[in-house]
Chain A
Amino acid sequence: MNAWFSLVATLILVAILALISYLGAASASLGTLFGVVIPYVAMAIFVVGVIYRIVRWAKVPVPFRIPTTCGQAKSLPWIKADNLESPYNTWGLIGRMALEVLLFRSLFRNTKAELRDGPRVTYGSAKWLWLAGILFHYSFLTIIVRHLRFFIEPVPSFVELLSSVDGFFQILIPTVFLTDVALLAAASYLFLRRVAIPQVRYISLPADYFPLFLILGIGISGLLMRNVWKVDLYSVKQLAMGLFTLHPTVPAGINPVFYVHLFLVSVLLAYFPFSKLMHAGGVFLSPTRNMRNVNRSERWVNPWNYPVKVHTYEEYENEFRAKMKEAGIPVDKE
């Protein structure tokens, strides 16, 4: 599929989704649909779907222990082993996984190869993808935690604290949160590099643009309703609490941009289990990362190991016995 077609078609798709919710919410009769039914359905798909996918992976056996070793293995006592890059015990493994999941260790290694005259190839530092990835994921996490204020009354103190730190600079009123800006900036970078780097554009599918556009749409609609159209937060909280406590109500008069926000979030939730976004769960199960390099010191059992046809020594000796004897090689049967 043509790269530009994928991009434009996906953008149009997300725009249509936004428009549907904008128009739908304007009609009073559909308030329940967009404010209650769809969010519930989306959440249900998300929870069931994510659990299903992870259980599905987990049920598939890991027949062989295949860690990718990125450091010195534990061998002789006087050779310093690298427990984080080639883990030999559980602590090392936890450390390796923590570095991978929390700090994107492998992505931090990234380099950029360039061809020069000669021909020569050089390797430059390339940490922008890592930085954008970190910013994106941690901003997203902070924003999700901040949103707990809509679901819990009284608002937990750590949420208050996080919000005040996030809004520390008090730019504009209401305060623009740093993480809102960071999320939009990082997602924009991830989008722009996808378009600007020819190789990445070449491999990109609609499935790569779709979540980016959704998240950008969610971020932009969130920013708009907080800082431009100033949605009535009391009503929003009423609706959110209602959803959370399973006593849904749909307060009248909430700005439709809120419904756009909520709808795009619902689409993202419902899409999540079917998409590459499942990397969030998958990274924990990756056999090249979550196994210790103790291959020669501990047994690993393959549950489906089966007998295979081999060529036995006896068959071998039967074929070569005369020649072996002639060459002075000991044989089992004279």
Chain B
Amino acid sequence: MSLEKLPNPQQLMTNVNFKRLPDTPWMETPTVFREGTYSYPAAGKNLRILDLSNPRAWSPLDADWKLPDNWQEIILKGFKERLEKFRSFRLFMDICVRCGACADKCHFFIGSGDPKNMPVLRAELIRSVYRKDFTLLGKMLGRFGGGRELTIDVLKEWFYYFFQCTECRRCSVFCPYGIDTAEVTMIGRELLNLVGLNINWVIEPVANCFRTGNHLGIPPHGLVDMWEFMNDDIKDITGIHIDLPINKKGAEILFVTPSGDYFADPGTYTCMGYMMLFHELGLDYTWSTYASEGGNFGLFTSHEMIKRLNAKIYAEAKRLKVKWILGGECGHMWRVMHQYMETMNGPADFLEEPVSPFTGTKFENSKQTKMVHITEFTSDLIKHNKLKLDPSRNDRYRVTFHDSCNPARAAGLLEEPRYVIRNVCNNFFEMPENTIREQTYCCGGGAGLGNDENMEMRMRGGFPRANALRHVRDKHGVNRLLCMCAIDRATLSTLAEYWTPEVDVGGIHELVANALIMKGEKERTLDLRGEPLREGAEEEE
């Protein structure tokens, strides 16, 4: 579904009313698959590449989803297994008191008014089955005990609503017991995967990444072309030729970033930003075509799939004999690198504790995983005056900053990006406090939901973010939304086009490179987008 097919923003929201609920109790309200609000199923060929179960052609609109005959048994067995493997899951099945504090914290509930998008009810979809099959009172009392049978309709409901959650964890900030819907959704999706219920926008990137090393399925020689193309643009803008180290053994640092940065605007400008920064520093680093993906759509599939895709990061670091790993601007990538990688694929005892070659700073916070975030690296450089910066080159931009869910709520990376932003541009305005930092709102398209067929739901889910963005646009004339996430750079661009025209989207290191005064550069008249650095500059020339 394209944006043009959507009603305008006013019309889109006219039917949303938090207080108007269906006449039927939620257990009896049927799930309706409406075009624009769900994602298309995974193609069989992608499931086969990954040895996932039940590859076939099917559609959520079909009555028959072509499930294995014993699908119920498979799900319940998987359910039981996960209750024994994840304390989080078991606990979150048990302790919710349904106080409702999470209800209006979810962007999908705010944008759709659908009560099953309240985090509490999303979890109840699965909790009700838990009660029926795994608790004493639920077994005895049935419906009165809050339990319900796992029927095909329940399964369809799970598919709809677990692929209508972006695992952003905002609700878990507000829950008095820290119940994290991301955990529930992740397990919910794992269970769905057991019987072959998954979406193509997740599984195809996973299959691509498994084979070619990146979500987009770009083969190594294709990557070289893309990088060289960006390199040519850099040459045009700065007059400087950059040598790109690729799969270079013995480099000090392996650089890993989401492949979204190689592929499409505005991510490519951020990628050019990294290249220029590393060149100017004289950093001894390498790109990798094998570990050419920082992102990890395994996170939106199963814990096992996270590990399968993530394994190549350490494997490549070992093969190339680097000392440590530097990671680019990406959101969910940092959930994986920060909270899963070392546990899954470590210990990385063949690497060294990261030290900045320019400032001597030891990145103590990364001494175990040996992986540093690019804004930690860059803010440290700026703090130690290692970069020559001219922030006035970004004076055309009045910027605000969107905290991506995972760096904010899974890693606590809040100040580093802000420090960099303040040093590379002069006009920085924060969005309202309920919408940034740990309370930041999702772009509406995370966790694999950023596909075009799901456009209506994306625009609804992105509404709270867009609302805050519109506020600073109107109040401060903000015209650039900064973010450090490849999914954001793609999804927020569409979101801004729909809700807040006049605002464009970009990464932080794009602005770093705009401001970066490089040795031997020609007088800069263009920014990384090839647009005049200063308004009216073209006419003056």
Q: Decide if A90 is an interface residue (CB 8 Å cutoff).
A: no
The smallest C-beta distance from B3 to any residue of chain A, in angstroms, reads 17
Count of chain B residues with a beta carbon within 8 Å of a chain A beta carbon: 120
A106 contact from B85, B173, B346, B365, Cβ within 8 A: B173
Q: Decide if A89 is an interface residue (CB 8 Å cutoff).
A: no
**In the complex, are the beta carbons of A70 and B87 less than 8 A apart?**
no
Q: Decide if A225 is an interface residue (CB 8 Å cutoff).
A: no
Q: Digitize B102-125: 1 where CB-to-A-CB distance is under 8 Å, 0 elsewhere.
A: 011100001000010010110010
**In the complex, are the beta carbons of B221 and A276 less than 8 A apart?**
no
**In the complex, are the beta carbons of A199 and B118 less than 8 A apart?**
yes
B residues less than 8 Å from A120 (CB atoms): 467
**In the complex, are the beta carbons of B361 and A283 less than 8 A apart?**
no
B residues less than 8 Å from A123 (CB atoms): 432, 434
The smallest C-beta distance from A115 to any residue of chain B, in angstroms, reads 6
**In the complex, are the beta carbons of A310 and B87 less than 8 A apart?**
no
Q: Decide if B83 is an interface residue (CB 8 Å cutoff).
A: yes
Q: Decide if B409 is an interface residue (CB 8 Å cutoff).
A: yes
The smallest C-beta distance from A54 to any residue of chain B, in angstroms, reads 10
**In the complex, are the beta carbons of A295 and B342 less than 8 A apart?**
yes
- How many cross-chain pairs have Cβ atoms below 8 Å apart between A and B? 319
Q: Decide if A261 is an interface residue (CB 8 Å cutoff).
A: no
Residues in B421-468 with C-beta less than 8 Å from chain A: 432, 434, 438-439, 463-464, 467
Q: Decide if A323 is an interface residue (CB 8 Å cutoff).
A: yes
- Most B CB atoms within 10 A — which of A114, A312, A324? A324
A256–B78 alpha-carbon span in the complex (Å)? 51
**In the complex, are the beta carbons of B416 and A76 less than 8 A apart?**
yes
- A309 with B26: in contact, given A115-B18, A203-B115 (CB under 8 Å)? no
**In the complex, are the beta carbons of A304 and B85 less than 8 A apart?**
yes
B residues less than 8 Å from A56 (CB atoms): 90
A293 contact from B337, B366, B412, Cβ within 8 A: B412
Q: How large is the interface on A (under 10, 10 to 19, 20 to 34, 35 or more residues)?
A: 35 or more
**In the complex, are the beta carbons of B115 and A309 less than 8 A apart?**
no
Which of A162-170, A181-189, A245-253, A284-292 is near enough to bind chain B?
A284-292
The smallest C-beta distance from A51 to any residue of chain B, in angstroms, reads 15
**In the complex, are the beta carbons of B414 and A64 less than 8 A apart?**
no
B residues less than 8 Å from A3 (CB atoms): 25
**In the complex, are the beta carbons of A295 and B383 less than 8 A apart?**
no
A residues less than 8 Å from B340 (CB atoms): 64
Residues in A100-117 with C-beta less than 8 Å from chain B: 100, 104, 106-107, 109-115
Which of B192-200, B309-317, B522-530 is near enough to bind chain A?
B309-317
B residues less than 8 Å from A302 (CB atoms): 343-344
Q: Decide if A79 is an interface residue (CB 8 Å cutoff).
A: yes
Residues in B282-338 with C-beta less than 8 Å from chain A: 289-290, 303-304, 307-308, 311-312, 315-316, 319, 337-338
Q: Decide if A229 is an interface residue (CB 8 Å cutoff).
A: no
Q: Decide if B472 is an interface residue (CB 8 Å cutoff).
A: no
The smallest C-beta distance from A109 to any residue of chain B, in angstroms, reads 6
Residue on B nearest A303 in the bound complex, by CB = B85
**In the complex, are the beta carbons of A70 and B409 less than 8 A apart?**
yes
A119 contact from B9, B99, B135, Cβ within 8 A: B9
Q: Decide if A174 is an interface residue (CB 8 Å cutoff).
A: no
- A62 with B438: in contact, given A320-B221, A330-B248 (CB under 8 Å)? no
**In the complex, are the beta carbons of A320 and B220 less than 8 A apart?**
yes
- A60 with B383: in contact, given A70-B438, A119-B13 (CB under 8 Å)? no
Q: Decide if A244 is an interface residue (CB 8 Å cutoff).
A: no
Which of A141-149, A152-160, A205-213, A234-242 is near enough to bind chain B?
A205-213
- A121 with B110: in contact, given A68-B178, A86-B412, A295-B369 (CB under 8 Å)? yes
**In the complex, are the beta carbons of B19 and A286 less than 8 A apart?**
no
**In the complex, are the beta carbons of A310 and B308 less than 8 A apart?**
yes
**In the complex, are the beta carbons of A207 and B135 less than 8 A apart?**
no
**In the complex, are the beta carbons of A70 and B173 less than 8 A apart?**
yes
A residues less than 8 Å from B434 (CB atoms): 111, 123
Q: Decide if B61 is an interface residue (CB 8 Å cutoff).
A: no
Main secondary structure on B side of the interface with A: helix
- A313 with B87: in contact, given A70-B173, A288-B178 (CB under 8 Å)? no
Residues in A168-197 with C-beta less than 8 Å from chain B: 197
**In the complex, are the beta carbons of A296 and B90 less than 8 A apart?**
no
A residues less than 8 Å from B103 (CB atoms): 199-200, 203
**In the complex, are the beta carbons of A329 and B247 less than 8 A apart?**
yes
Q: Decide if A91 is an interface residue (CB 8 Å cutoff).
A: no
A residues less than 8 Å from B463 (CB atoms): 119, 121
B residues less than 8 Å from A323 (CB atoms): 219-221
**In the complex, are the beta carbons of B411 and A199 less than 8 A apart?**
no
Q: Decide if B146 is an interface residue (CB 8 Å cutoff).
A: yes
The smallest C-beta distance from B87 to any residue of chain A, in angstroms, reads 4
**In the complex, are the beta carbons of B383 and A78 less than 8 A apart?**
yes
Residue on B nearest A58 in the bound complex, by CB = B87
A residues less than 8 Å from B90 (CB atoms): 56-57, 60
A residues less than 8 Å from B290 (CB atoms): 313, 316-317
**In the complex, are the beta carbons of B25 and A57 less than 8 A apart?**
no
Q: Decide if B74 is an interface residue (CB 8 Å cutoff).
A: no
Q: Decide if A204 is an interface residue (CB 8 Å cutoff).
A: yes
A274–B303 alpha-carbon span in the complex (Å)? 30
- A327 with B343: in contact, given A60-B86, A60-B90 (CB under 8 Å)? no
Q: Digitize A270-300: 1 where CB-to-B-CB distance is under 8 Å, 0 elsewhere.
A: 0000111011001101111100011111111
A65–B344 alpha-carbon span in the complex (Å)? 11
A285–B95 alpha-carbon span in the complex (Å)? 11
A312–B315 alpha-carbon span in the complex (Å)? 8
Q: Decide if B501 is an interface residue (CB 8 Å cutoff).
A: no
Q: Digitize A46-84: 1 where CB-to-B-CB distance is under 8 Å, 0 elsewhere.
A: 000000010011101111111111111111101110100
A295–B367 alpha-carbon span in the complex (Å)? 10
A residues less than 8 Å from B136 (CB atoms): 274
**In the complex, are the beta carbons of B365 and A1 less than 8 A apart?**
no
The smallest C-beta distance from A154 to any residue of chain B, in angstroms, reads 38
A242–B171 alpha-carbon span in the complex (Å)? 48
- A1 with B27: in contact, given A60-B86, A76-B379, A296-B342 (CB under 8 Å)? yes
A57–B87 alpha-carbon span in the complex (Å)? 6
**In the complex, are the beta carbons of A297 and B364 less than 8 A apart?**
yes
Q: Decide if B534 is an interface residue (CB 8 Å cutoff).
A: no
> Can you show 13 pairs from A to B with CB atoms below 8 A apart?
A70-B409, A75-B363, A76-B376, A199-B100, A203-B103, A207-B137, A288-B180, A301-B343, A302-B344, A310-B315, A312-B315, A313-B290, A330-B246
A residues bordering B, Cβ < 8 Å? Answer: 1-3, 9, 53, 56-58, 60-76, 78-80, 82, 85-86, 100, 104, 106-107, 109-115, 118-121, 123, 129, 133, 197-200, 202-208, 274-276, 278-279, 282-283, 285-289, 293-302, 304-305, 308-313, 316-317, 319-320, 323-324, 326-330, 332
Known: A3-B25, A276-B95, A304-B85. 19 other contacts (CB 8 A): A60-B84, A61-B86, A63-B85, A73-B365, A76-B365, A107-B99, A113-B18, A113-B464, A119-B13, A120-B467, A200-B98, A274-B135, A283-B95, A283-B177, A286-B95, A289-B177, A296-B366, A316-B212, A326-B221
**5 A-B pairs with least C-beta separation:** A73-B412, A69-B412, A282-B95, A288-B178, A327-B221
B residues bordering A, Cβ < 8 Å? Answer: 9-10, 12-13, 16-21, 25-27, 51, 83-88, 90-91, 94-101, 103-105, 110, 115, 118, 120-121, 124, 135-137, 143-146, 169, 172-180, 183, 210-213, 219-221, 224-225, 246-249, 289-290, 303-304, 307-308, 311-312, 315-316, 319, 337-340, 342-344, 346-347, 361, 363-369, 371, 376, 379-380, 383, 408-416, 419, 432, 434, 438-439, 463-464, 467
